[in-house]
Amino acid sequence: MTSFKELGIAAEVCDVLRYQGIKEPTPVQEQAIPVVRAGRDCIAQAQTGTGKTLAFLLPIFEKIKPQADVAQALVITPTRELAIQIAKVAKSVGEAVGVSSLVIYGGQDIERQKQKLRRHPQLIIGTPGRLLDHLRRGTIDLAQVNKVVLDEADEMLRLGFIEDVETLLKAVAADRQLLLFSATMPVRIKALAQQFMHAPANIEVKSEHITLDAIEQVIVDTTEEDKLDRLCELINQDNPYLMMVFCHTKQRAHQVTMALAARGYLVDELHGDLSQVQRALVLKRFRTAQLQILCATDIAARGLDIEGVTHVVNYDIPHDAESYIHRIGRTGRAGQTGKAVTFVNARQYDLLRRIESGIRSRIRKAHAERHQKHVAKQQKILQEIRAKEAEHKKKKKPLSKYANRKGAAHKGRNTRSRRQASAKGRSRTNLGHRSKLGRH
């Protein structure tokens, strides 16, 4: 295994990583860092939880000139949560090399963002909408930016941000280095790469099993009416430290949150209807374990790196394998183990088969606790019956020599004896003779 020092990372940065418990590079970091340091465009296809953030931040920090008070690098992310997560990593590493960074996204006070932009941060991390807003207002200068990262490019496409991204790419320096990180490569993303990239290096990390090996995956067969009861049964049985429950819609997340709260659980919700202040407060409470359960929509599936999430529940089954991987990737991180439970009803097994095909693995089906007790009871009864049969066989009287020679079915009687056959024949003859006499 190659070390960060062997990859050319500065000693002070290696010390910061070691302090954070990061000792060895992941496969995507090992492949991407030399390419980015060489100044080449790069397309990296890797799943969540594989260490993509450090894969592009570490070599970018080496290229940034701390003495120049201009923006030199730009990281574009699809969600606020992912932007905040990247900004935390950038701050800890940037302090070691003297590089300033700034995160900007919607929901914040734009005037305060303007003030921070006047301080000329060298690395800017943001969401497409707010970055484009500053660009149109003339409050951000991207002309000197020659290193651009598109993180979770497929999610940007799904959320409809690609046009905004194209506008931002046209505003940066012409000799830019473009790094594209994505879990999948839809046709539109490939077209974007062809338009804005020059001879990119392709890195593909087959990380489904790397990401999922540490996660126990379980399917629970249920109905819509029983889902809440099965969820409570799971919570009571496993007693998770931190659990994330994923729902399709904001309304569903709110309903599940209210229902669990009514039953006395420490729970809150996370979705797009919350303000940024509310989101930050909820995440802070969840990270510090003031909440045990967080009901969320897919907005929380990407970019959230929360230590201690032991369980993920797909209250609503994901629409595809990628969403499934991103959801359950919230647990089993940083060398820890986790458990992912997916609720499935009778009409959703075709969707489940597509997910299993996407992750190239079959997911074990679990049964309810009452079903397990019923099966255990049946097995106990069967063992008792077998024990009684064995005891009864021991008490049986030994059979005659005929049984030993001809088998137990004869029960000691030689039914093939000539003497017995002739005796039977004479008795039948006598009976027939008597019946004829009776008639006369």
CA atoms within 13 A on the CB side of 392: 6
Give how many domains the chain has, as a whole number.
2
How do residues 333-372 score in pLDDT, each as one tens digit? 766 788 999 999 988 888 888 888 878 788 888 765 555 5
C-alpha dist (Å) from residue 272 to 24, 93, 250, 313: 36, 30, 7, 19
Which element (helix H / strand E) includes 168? helix 162-171
Across all residues in the chain, what is the average pLDDT?
83
**Same domain for 231 and 183?**
no
Q: Which of 236-240, 300-304, 366-370 has the highest mean pLDDT?
A: 236-240
Which amino acid is it at 234?
L
Note whether 181 and 52 are within 8 A (CB). yes
**Same domain for 125 and 257?**
no
Write down the pLDDT at residue 432.
Answer: 55
> Considering the domain boundaries, does residue 318 fall inside one?
yes
- CA-based angle 208:210:212, to the nearest 5? 65
CA nearest to 186, candidates 65, 320, 5: 320
Write down the pLDDT at residue 209.
Answer: 47
Query: Which domain-ending residue is among 179, 206, 233?
Result: 206
Write down the pLDDT at residue 372.
Answer: 59
* pLDDT (average), residues 210-227: 83
**Same domain for 232 and 276?**
yes
Cα-to-chain-centroid distance, residue 52: 16
How many residues does the structure list for the chain?
A: 440
Rounded to whole angstroms, the Cα distance separating 179 from 56 reads 8
* pLDDT (average), residues 304-316: 88
Which residues touch 345 (CB under 8 Å, ≥6 apart)?
A: 221, 222, 223, 224
Rounded to whole angstroms, the Cα distance separating 298 from 270 reads 9
| Range of the structural domain that residue 149 is part of | 11-206
Tokens of 245: 């429950």
How do residues 98-150 score in pLDDT, each as one tens digit? 999 999 998 788 899 999 999 999 999 999 999 999 999 999 999 999 999 99
Query: Which domain-ending residue is among 355, 371, 387?
Result: 371
With a cut of 90, say whether residue 161 has pLDDT above it.
Answer: no
Write down the pLDDT at residue 228.
Answer: 94
Query: Which domain-ending residue is among 349, 371, 393?
Result: 371
CA nearest to 155, candidates 179, 132, 188, 123: 188
> Considering the domain boundaries, does residue 432 fall inside one?
no
| Least confident residue range of 141-145, 307-311, 317-321 | 317-321
Q: What CATH number is given to the structural domain containing 258?
A: 3.40.50.300
| Least confident residue range of 73-82, 170-179, 286-295, 425-434 | 425-434
**Percent of the chain at pLDDT exceeding 70:** 84
**Same domain for 221 and 194?**
no
